[in-house]
Structure 1
Amino acid sequence: MVYFMKCLDYEKNGKEGIIKLTVKVVVLDLDGTLLNSKKQISSRNLNAVLNCHKSGKKIIIATARPPRSVKNFLPKELLDNCSFAFYNGALVCDYKIGYEEHSSIPRDFSKEIIEFCKENFPHCTISFEVKDKWYSNKEITDSSIYNLRYIPHILTNDKLIDLEATKIMLSDFNDFKHFKPYFTDKVKVVVTDNQKLIQITNKEVSKETGILKLCSHYEADKSETIVFGDDYNDLEMFRMSGYSVAMLNAVQELKGMADEITDTNDNDGVAKVLKRFV
């Protein structure tokens, strides 16, 4: 179905325009987008997304979070009817059709990272996410950068090397600037949490790659996607989408490339767009 969307740009004094759009897939980031500041999905956003599903749209949740975390934030009716690009696309799942694709970090690179840390960051905390399981070389107590609702399995560095890591996280290091240039040609390295956490994934994965894998199963073209986001890890999916919507609370770079800027995540910005074509 082709929609003629009347789009409203909240940051440009209510500037309106008409967009011709064919939508088969709705892609939603979680934090800062579908979830409000309390990490909750409002009833208005929930109903808007479920109405999209009922009208035949495929719903993809694209997030940096692992599966166990997403399950804590979304109600069952969404979990049962969405597909997912977890870990920014490193783990892609559609539970209804039994589809899963895992893009792990090559073991040789994992070994290099651990050896580098042993030599340069001897007191570094190294943890591996493997699909939905969490492992670490020591007990983790820093609640400012880790979700301590979960407790990792403790393994030695030698045992960690044997795992097919979905994501590697490093904390308690000396200087990330010494680490990042050494590995950026081998893996994807992102420094977060006020430069206290290094997050590493397979170099080839992103939200974009995860979304495209799912779209191929749906026989949907990327031009038939509408995406919603707020942060830097949403940039790639904005570039590939048919129509991109940035939240009013989004980073400026994302808003600068968006087709539309909606209201904030605390004011049901997602629902305000989705209601126009469902």
Structure 2
Amino acid sequence: MAIKAIAVDLDGTLLNSSKQVSARSCNALLRAHQLGLKLIVATARPPRAVEMLLPEALKRISAYIYYNGAMINCSHSQFTYHQAIDSTLSARILSFIMQEPNADISIEVADQWFTISEFDASVVQAVGGEPILKSLEEMQTVSPSKIIAAGLNNWRGLVEQFGDEVNVLVTDQGQLVQIAHLQVSKELALQRLCDVYSIGLDEVIVFGDDTNDIGLFEACGHAVAMGNAIPELKQLADEVTASNDEDGVAIVVERLTAALAHS
């Protein structure tokens, strides 16, 4: 099956360790777009962070999957999607997490970032934008796109209690817990975009490095794990490329575009 779209994760994949997209990777993706391939950025990050991190040239041609699939935006097709967690369920989850005194909690609500306590400057810079301080009671009244908990010791208990009601994603060796609506995932979001484009998931090449890319690797036609990817992802991959600091995405995309140009 011919490849018609590229789905790429950001952190640990398209972004290098300096949180930048190299000129080589940017040019490779631009060339792929010139040859007719769709470009889909699929990330856990919010829109404002993606806006801050991507080069202008890529922003103009990309469709976006944010919050691991809770939000989708494709301006070229006038397609948008947002699936939030019900406020009643979110309130129960927040109360559970608050039982741990050292847990840092924040929620994302359609590109607004709410926190119970202040984060240090490095976290603010990484996430993008200034957080809005809210009390627990205030946060329990809204329907979040995503709940984020860091420093959560009992994340297994959280999965056990709420795993049937929400999608609980544990990344960064258990240091970061991301909670979304039960029907939210990168692969479900990608399926929605593919339906808009009238292409199949088997016509998508995907690049990733972490747990939240597993579903994409299982669903897409060709899966490429970064050299720095977790072992589980490498086992699922059709191929393993170089690391995110060695232009791993560009290496494969250049090979793909060379084949397309001569076909």
Change (3 A) 1:187 1:60: same
1:11 maps to what in 2? Answer: none
1:75 maps to what in 2? Answer: 55
Match of 2:36 among 43, 51, 56: 56
1:221 maps to what in 2? Answer: 200
Q: Which is greater in Rg?
A: 1
Runs of 5+ consecutive residues of structure 1 not aligned to the other structure: 1-20
Q: Percent of aligned pairs with the same residue?
A: 40
Q: Quick check: 2:14–2:25 contact (8 Å CA) kept in 1?
A: yes
Q: Quick check: 1:83–1:95 contact (8 Å CA) kept in 2?
A: yes
RMSD: 2.2
1:148 Cα deviation from its structure 2 partner:
6.6
Distance, in Å, in 2 between the alignment partners of 1:117 and 1:256 is: 33
Match of 2:214 among 214, 235, 238: 235
Match of 2:232 among 253, 263, 267: 253
Q: Which structure shows the bigger proportion of residues in strand conformation?
A: 1
Distance, in Å, in 1 between the alignment partners of 2:133 and 2:5 is: 40
1:153 is aligned to 2:132 = yes
Match of 1:273 among 237, 240, 252: 252
Distance, in Å, in 2 between the alignment partners of 1:222 and 1:35 is: 24
Note the alpha carbon deviations across 1:36-74, whole angstroms, 9 max, x for none: 121111111111100111111110001111111111211
Q: Which structure shows the bigger proportion of residues in helix conformation?
A: 2
Change (3 A) 1:267 1:161: same
Note the alpha carbon deviations across 1:6-63, whole angstroms, 9 max, x for none: xxxxxxxxxxxxxxx4011111111121111211111111111001111111100011
Aligned partner of residue 182 in structure 1, secondary structure: helix
Q: Quick check: 1:123–1:173 contact (8 Å CA) kept in 2?
A: yes
Distance, in Å, in 1 between the alignment partners of 2:107 and 2:191 is: 26
1:190 is aligned to 2:169 = yes
1:33 maps to what in 2? Answer: 13
Note the alpha carbon deviations across 1:164-199, whole angstroms, 9 max, x for none: 200112346563343331111111223345544432
2:154 maps to what in 1? Answer: 175
Aligned partner of residue 147 in structure 1, secondary structure: helix
Aligned partner of residue 84 in structure 2, secondary structure: coil
Normalised by the length of structure 1, the TM-score is 0.84
Change (3 A) 1:148 1:81: closer
Distance, in Å, in 2 between the alignment partners of 1:210 and 1:157 is: 30
Q: What one-letter code is carried by the residue in structure 2 that aligns with 1:216?
A: D
Q: What one-letter code is carried by the residue in structure 1 that aligns with 2:181?
A: N
1:277 Cα deviation from its structure 2 partner:
2.7
Change (3 A) 1:196 1:95: same
1:127 is aligned to 2:103 = no
Q: Quick check: 2:171–2:210 contact (8 Å CA) kept in 1?
A: no
Normalised by the length of structure 2, the TM-score is 0.89
